[in-house]
């Protein structure tokens, strides 16, 4: 470590800013897990007040002065310290270019937007959500303008979640993916096995919530989630927040869809493992931060799909599932259960989609967002545009907006440009998976014994402990030796689902 007092002081200020950010996150977690409906306005005010304090800390003039001094004498910094300074400069620029009044307005609007979305979705009333969404788009464009991205607003939204990403780059990756994915989905859904998978899945009914809770707790603990430093609760839309020694995951329970809560929980566990694996001593600096949402999603999707839908994984958990739910699972052979876990069926709802059709939902949202930001599409015209695009891309058109344009939480708090991260995360997850298998061909045998330690240790070393050193594109290159592309993902789908459906 350096003895430079300026660097030590900078680190202290960055950590304080980070701590205030975790307070804001905790308010957000509580809002979705515990808040009574009548508390919405009060929570919006709390969010705004904390956002203001956080913003003041992040944009403090002292940080600017320290950065200036450290940049002037950069020769004396270690490479890690240099990395901290470079990222701190980027964050500082972002914080200082946003007026405090704008930050306060956006925080309050995000919170109100969430509650307006909950009401609009429950009532299937898109019209009531139009002014909220218009305001969110306007705020997003203003934010881009403050930061110097006028005319490239959607690129700004993408870059915000995954540095360096542009709409042109995403377009190219998605184009390549779509051209092979659409015929693959068609072939799989036309297979007689698709009907058998569906039949197997529909026999999984009547799973009491308490049993599901116990099962997913065992499974997520076995994978490596540390419940001394995290917890899991229930919310409408599963998510993971918090970091380090206090990671908050959520799931939801449906008595007749036990696989839904299981896979949602494993997905969030993947996020949680990443957060628990970041270097705690470095929290607040780039060395202790995650590397963007595509990398985050690569971790959740890798555990949810490549791992938890593998045969090895099911050899391990099947006896326990049958022991906890003997009557509910009695009608299925092991092969039928495995088929139910890997069922493929086009659906209207993204979060219910299997991993084969999932990315079609992302491509649909990317098309909508692009048009929303380049002015081709007005907010009020979204429902009709969504239905048409859904019919074309997913193959189904929703009868209600609740199952269509209102289904996702993201736009309610202005998280535009986030959806592509899910798809890029899927692509990166498949690349990481094949790299891991090359290094450790017997991985699935280890899963069958309930041993996930090698994979977790490898991800810790290659991804988690790297903090924000490498963005998704660099990480793919460094860890897998290849550019981020749909090739590994398509290979994975053809291998796993081809073997099940296309024999
Ligand atoms: Zn996720």
Read off the pLDDT of residues 432-462 as tens digits, 9 standing for 90 and up.
Answer: 999 999 999 999 999 999 999 999 999 999 9
Residues 323, 238, single domain; the answer is yes
Q: What is the mean pLDDT of residues 473-480?
A: 96
Q: What is the mean pLDDT of the chain?
A: 95
Contact 413, 241 (CB under 8 A): no
Sole residue written with tokens 């592309």: 485
Is residue 162 a part of any domain in this protein?
A: no
Is residue 137 a part of any domain in this protein?
A: yes
Handedness of CA 136, 140, 145, 149 (dihedral sign): negative
CA 98 to CA 87: how far, in whole Å? 17
Residues 184, 100, single domain; the answer is no
CA 104 to CA 108: how far, in whole Å? 6
pLDDT category at 143 given cuts 50, 70, 90 is: very high
Q: What is the pLDDT of residue 318?
A: 98
How many angstroms separate the alpha carbon of residue 62 from the centre of ligand 1? 36
- CATH number for 252: 1.10.1370.30
Q: What is the mean pLDDT of residues 67-91?
A: 93
pLDDT category at 130 given cuts 50, 70, 90 is: very high
Residues 202, 311, single domain; the answer is yes
Q: Is residue 1 over pLDDT 80? A: no
Contact 208, 437 (CB under 8 A): no
How many angstroms separate the alpha carbon of residue 133 from the centre of ligand 1? 22
Is residue 189 a part of any domain in this protein?
A: yes
CA 212 to CA 328: how far, in whole Å? 12
86, 119, 148 — which closes off a domain? Answer: 148
Q: What is the pLDDT of residue 179?
A: 94
Q: What is the pLDDT of residue 111?
A: 83
Structure tokens at 239: 């998510």
Q: What is the pLDDT of residue 140?
A: 97
Is residue 71 a part of any domain in this protein?
A: yes
Q: What is the pLDDT of residue 287?
A: 96
79, 114, 148 — which closes off a domain? Answer: 148
Residues 315, 358, single domain; the answer is yes
Structure tokens at 170: 């995403």
Contact 141, 153 (CB under 8 A): yes
CA 151 to CA 166: how far, in whole Å? 13
Residues 450, 370, single domain; the answer is yes
Residues 6+ apart with CB under 8 A from 229: 244, 245, 246, 247, 276
Q: What is the mean pLDDT of residues 204-213?
A: 97
Contact 349, 403 (CB under 8 A): yes
Domain assignment of residue 210, given as a range = 167-502
pTM (2 d.p.): 0.94
Residues 226, 322, single domain; the answer is yes
How many angstroms separate the alpha carbon of residue 164 from the centre of ligand 1? 20
CA 287 to CA 279: how far, in whole Å? 7
Q: What is the pLDDT of residue 244?
A: 86
Burial class (CB in 10 A: 0-12, 13-18, 19+), 438: exposed
Q: What is the pLDDT of residue 104?
A: 86
CA 119 to CA 121: how far, in whole Å? 5
pLDDT category at 12 given cuts 50, 70, 90 is: very high
Residues 476, 383, single domain; the answer is yes
Q: Is residue 73 over pLDDT 90? A: no
How confident is the model over 333-387, as pLDDT tens digits? 999 999 999 999 999 999 889 999 999 999 999 999 999 999 999 999 999 999 9
Burial class (CB in 10 A: 0-12, 13-18, 19+), 293: buried
CA 238 to CA 264: how far, in whole Å? 7
Residues 353, 224, single domain; the answer is yes
Residues 131, 218, single domain; the answer is no
116, 148, 180 — which closes off a domain? Answer: 148
Q: What is the pLDDT of residue 3?
A: 66
Contact 237, 230 (CB under 8 A): no
Is residue 317 a part of any domain in this protein?
A: yes
Q: Is residue 237 over pLDDT 90? A: no
Residues 64, 204, single domain; the answer is no
Is residue 446 a part of any domain in this protein?
A: yes
Is residue 289 a part of any domain in this protein?
A: yes
- Of the candidate ranges 101-110, 405-414, 469-478, the one whose mean pLDDT is the lowest: 101-110
Residues 314, 209, single domain; the answer is yes
Q: What is the mean pLDDT of residues 250-269?
A: 96
Q: What is the pLDDT of residue 352?
A: 86
Say how many domains are in the chain.
2
Q: What is the mean pLDDT of residues 295-310?
A: 98
Q: Is residue 2 over pLDDT 70? A: no
How many angstroms separate the alpha carbon of residue 301 from the centre of ligand 1? 7
Q: What is the pLDDT of residue 339?
A: 97
Q: What is the mean pLDDT of residues 25-41?
A: 94
Active centre residues (catalytic): 268
User: Please, what is the angle between helix 453-462 and helix 258-277, to 10°?
Assistant: 50
How many angstroms separate the alpha carbon of residue 81 from the centre of ligand 1? 30
Is residue 429 a part of any domain in this protein?
A: yes
């Amino acid at each position: 470590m350096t003895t430079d007092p300026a660097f030590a002081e900078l680190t202290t200020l960055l950590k304080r800013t980070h701590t205030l950010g975790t307070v804001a996150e905790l308010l957000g977690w509580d809002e979705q897990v515990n808040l009574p409906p009548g508390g919405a306005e009060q929570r919006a005010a709390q969010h705004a007040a904390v956002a203001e304090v956080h913003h003041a800390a992040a944009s403090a003039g002292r940080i600017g002065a320290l950065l200036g001094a450290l940049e002037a004498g950069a020769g004396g910094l270690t490479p890690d310290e240099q990395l901290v300074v470079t990222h701190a400069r980027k964050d500082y620029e972002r914080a200082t270019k946003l007026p405090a009044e704008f930050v306060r307005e956006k925080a309050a609007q995000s919170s109100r937007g969430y509650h307006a979305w909950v009401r609009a979705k429950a009532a299937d009333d898109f019209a009531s959500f139009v002014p909220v969404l218009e305001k969110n788009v306007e705020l997003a464009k203003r934010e881009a303008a403050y930061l110097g991205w006028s005319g490239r607003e959607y690129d700004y939204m993408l870059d915000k979640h995954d540095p360096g990403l542009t709409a042109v780059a995403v377009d190219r990756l998605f184009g390549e993916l779509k051209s092979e994915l659409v015929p693959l989905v068609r072939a799989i859904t036309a297979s007689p096995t698709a009907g058998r998978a569906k039949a197997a899945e529909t026999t999984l009914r009547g799973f009491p919530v308490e049993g599901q809770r116990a099962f997913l707790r065992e499974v997520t603990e076995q994978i490596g989630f540390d419940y001394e430093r995290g917890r899991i609760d229930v919310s409408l839309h599963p998510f993971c927040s918090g970091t380090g020694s206090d990671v908050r995951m959520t799931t939801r329970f449906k008595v007749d869809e036990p696989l839904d809560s299981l896979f949602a929980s494993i997905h969030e566990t993947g996020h949680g493992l990443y957060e628990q694996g970041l270097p705690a001593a470095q929290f607040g600096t780039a060395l202790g931060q995650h590397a963007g949402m595509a990398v985050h999603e690569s971790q959740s999707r890798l555990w949810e799909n490549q791992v938890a839908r593998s045969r090895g994984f099911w050899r391990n958990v099947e006896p326990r599932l049958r022991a906890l739910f003997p009557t509910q699972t009695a009608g299925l052979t092991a092969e039928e259960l495995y088929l139910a876990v890997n069922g493929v069926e086009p659906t209207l709802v993204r979060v219910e989609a299997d991993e084969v059709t999932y990315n079609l939902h992302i491509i649909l949202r990317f098309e909508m967002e692009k048009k929303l930001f380049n002015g081709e599409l007005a907010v009020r015209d979204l429902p009709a545009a969504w239905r048409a695009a859904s019919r074309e891309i997913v193959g189904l058109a929703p009868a209600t907006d609740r199952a269509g344009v209102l289904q996702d939480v993201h736009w309610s708090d202005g998280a535009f440009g986030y959806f592509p991260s899910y798809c890029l995360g899927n692509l990166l997850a498949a690349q990481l998976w094949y790299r891991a298998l090359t290094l450790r061909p017997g991985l699935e045998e280890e899963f069958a014994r309930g041993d996930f330690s090698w994979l977790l240790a490898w991800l810790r070393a290659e991804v988690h402990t790297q903090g924000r050193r490498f963005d998704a594109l660099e990480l793919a290159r460094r860890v897998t030796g290849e550019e981020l592309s749909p090739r590994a993902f398509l290979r994975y789908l053809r291998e796993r689902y081809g073997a099940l459906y296309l024999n």
